[in-house]
Every structure is written in structure tokens, then in C-alpha cells.
Structure 1
Amino acid sequence: MKKLILSFALSMLSLTAFAQSQYEKIMTEKIGKLEACQSLDKFQTLANDFDRIGKKETQQWQPSYYAALAYIQKGRMQMRDGKMSELSVQANAADKYLDQAESIAGKDNSEIHLLRKMSYSLKMMKNPAERYMTDGMKAMEELKKAETLDPGNPRVALIKAEDTYFTPEQYGGSKTKGLEQFKTALEKFNAFKPKTAVDPNWGKSEAEYFLSQTPAK
């Protein structure tokens, strides 16, 4: 009987390990596609894919996190294309998944707070003059929370650099200061190691891109 129990226990461990490896394999594939994505339709497809994974892997916060990131990146692409009326739609969709991720990971997750910052920024950009004191201030609060929870988070440094770089000088921005902050972000990316294979690890290529635009001296 003891041998049967031991055999059953080992079989269950093997099945659990196999399921985990399959989960990581699928997630790694989808994350890679998300980081390389340059299409509104594909962002939507990936958001749907992560949604399906999250419904199956109910104890994992990362699928909901990446679904939110897909909607945020979709909104950022629409913003670059001047489709400002769509930004709140994508931000609201992201918020739903961030709530799901937070319900699993807890409220002290720097990565989730950073995406909330990005979501509020999207909402603000629909009408900055009207929304700065509401969504804009909430975005700043979320960024501060993200940095307080993890000062070494390179994505926090990246988004701070973006904000400085793209904000007009009359409102406190500076391309020169932004580039210095991108250097700081890159240093943090070079020192950063995600806790697992599916934890957030995006953003380094963006810091490298902005620094590559600096004229050589």
C-alpha cells in the first residue's frame, strides 16, 4: 500500500511539473509576441489569448497582467496614430485585468501599479487640459507607489524617462534630462533579473532605442 501511495504521489508531482512547464512555455511564447507586436489587431488577439490562459490558470497573476499590458500598448499605438477618442476604451479594458491581477498578487506589486500609472496616463491624454488634475494626478500617485515598492524596477525608470522626454519644457520636461533618465533605466535593466520566466521583463529595447537616437560626439 505504501508503495502505491508513493507511486501515486510521484505521479501527481510529475503531472504538476508538466503542467507548470506547459504554462511557462505557452506564456513565454505569447510574451515574446507581445514584445514584438506592432499591430492593433495583434494586440487585441494577444489580449484575448492571455485572457483565456488566465481563466485556466486562476492562481497566476501574470496572464491578467499581460492582458492589461496588451490593451495599454494598443492604446499607446492609437495615441501615436492620433486616435485619442479610443484611449479610454483601452485603459478601461486594462483596468479590469489589473484588478484581476491584483486580486491574486496583492496590492504591493510594483509592476501592477506601474501599469495602472500607464492606464491613467492614457485616460489623461484623451483630453490633457481637462484630465490632468484627475487622471494625471492619479497616474503620478501610481508611479510613486510603483517606485516605493521597488526602487530598482527598470520599467518605473523607463516610464519616468518617457514622461520627462515627451513633456514640453514649459511644463517641466526636457529631452536632455529624459535621455539621462533613459541611461539610468538601461543601467537598471542590465542589473535586473525577473523572479520567474514569466514575470515582467519588457522595456529594455525601448530604452536602447531612445539612447540610439543620441548623436555620437
Structure 2
Amino acid sequence: MKKLFLAALLAISVSTFAQTSYEKAMIDKIAQVEQQRKSDEFTALTNDFTRIGDKEKNQWLPYYYAAFTNIQKGRIAMREGKMTELDAIAAEAQKPLDLAMGLSKDNAELLILQKMIHGLKMMVDPQSRFMSEGMLAADALSKAEKLDSENPRITLLKAEDTYYTPEQFGGSKTKGLELFQKSLDQFKVYKPKTALDPNWGKAEAEYFLVNKP
């Protein structure tokens, strides 16, 4: 009986250590995400998160961050005017996102990333892709909102869309800024479920409200 108890205690200890190792690795990599500014830095992080996900097997968050860092690389390409690179970057982001979705159903955070991936693809040729990728992006965000209506990242993406869409197509800089403010207000009260869960976006909302680019 004593041997069985010690074996069970050892199993619990090993399991706890393994989980702690996973959390430490994730916290370290997540902390690096907001520090990166270059495309190759995000590529390195994507690879790191993918390796963690492949090791853990049943955790959706590593694949979430692998997709997110790819999307961030796409946003850099967009700012640099490298629109022809966006389809390939979006395809790379979709791979880990599909793995995450296979592990976590009806997840608003994953649908937010799906919206962003469709957005990247639309920006390759907005005029011809609005009715395809643009509609898919809107649908993904609508599904996310039904699952988590107070999520500030949903409001942030709606603010971006409203701010940058020309007025003749229903956009408005004034309404966009109002949504950025709403997002910032939501960030003040919205709490991630764990230390590893998504918590990005507040700085962007603050930037828009201060600089109004």
C-alpha cells in the first residue's frame, strides 16, 4: 500500500512539474511577442510556439500563438506595402490555427484570428476580394461576438474596420474612434482566463486614441 501511495505521489509530482515547465516556456515566449518588430523575429517565435504545441499535443494555446505571430508578420508586410506576400503568410497562419480549432471548439479567440487571416488575404486585392474574404472575415468576427460579446479584441477589430473603411462604403473615423474607446473601456474590466490566455490589443487602442493616425 505504501509503495502504491509513493508511486501515485511521484506521478502527481512529475505531472505538476511537466505542466509547470509548459507554463514557464509559454510565459517566456508570450512575453517576447510584444517585444518583436521584425518579420524574422516573428518567424522564430512561430516556430517556437509550434514546437511547444507539437510536444504538448492537447494544448490549443501554443498553436494560437503560432498563428498570431504569423499574422503579426503579415501586418508588418502590409505596412511595408508587400501585399503579394500576404497570401503565403495567411496560409502559414492558417495551419496552426486549424490545429488549435481542432483542440478547442467554439472559441472566440480563435475566431478572432480567423477574421484577421481573412483580412490579410483580402488586402492582397480589396476590390476583388471584398465579397469573398471580406465577408468571411465579417462572419468569423460575428461568430466570435456571439460567443464572447465583451471581448475587447472583437471591438478593437471592429474599430479598425470602421476607421479605415471609406465613408462611401460605411466607414467613419469618428465612429472608429468611438469603438477604440469602447475597446479600451472593455480592456479595463476584461480578465483573461489564465496567465497564458490572449491579452493583446490594449496598446493599439490607446495608440489610436492618442495619435488618431
Say whether residues 1:26 and 2:25 are aligned partners: yes
- Could you tell me which residue of structure 1 aligns to residue 170 of structure 2? 172
1:169 deviates by 1.6
Q: Can you list the C-alpha shifts for 1:50-102, whole angstroms capped at 9, x where unaligned? A: 11111101010001110000111100110010000001111111111111001
- Could you tell me which residue of structure 1 aligns to residue 54 of structure 2? 55
Q: Distance in 1 between matches of 2:212 and 2:95?
A: 38
1:200 deviates by 0.9
Equivalent runs, 1:76-155 vs 2, <5 Å: 76-106=75-105, 108-155=106-153
Percent sequence identity is 54
The two structures have a TM-score, normalised by structure 2, of 0.97
Letter paired with 2:90: A
Unaligned runs of at least 5 residues, structure 2 = none
Root-mean-square deviation over aligned CA pairs: 1.2
- Could you tell me which residue of structure 1 aligns to residue 2 of structure 2? 3
Equivalent runs, 1:187-198 vs 2, <5 Å: 187-198=185-196
- SS of the residue corresponding to residue 57 of structure 2 reads coil
1:214 deviates by 5.1
Q: Distance in 1 between matches of 2:158 and 2:18?
A: 38
Say whether residues 1:66 and 2:47 are aligned partners: no
- SS of the residue corresponding to residue 29 of structure 2 reads helix
- SS of the residue corresponding to residue 36 of structure 1 reads coil
Q: Distance in 1 between matches of 2:27 and 2:110?
A: 19
The two structures have a TM-score, normalised by structure 1, of 0.95
Letter paired with 2:154: V
Letter paired with 1:60: Q
1:33 deviates by 0.8
4+ residue segments displaced more than 6 Å: none
Unaligned runs of at least 5 residues, structure 1 = none
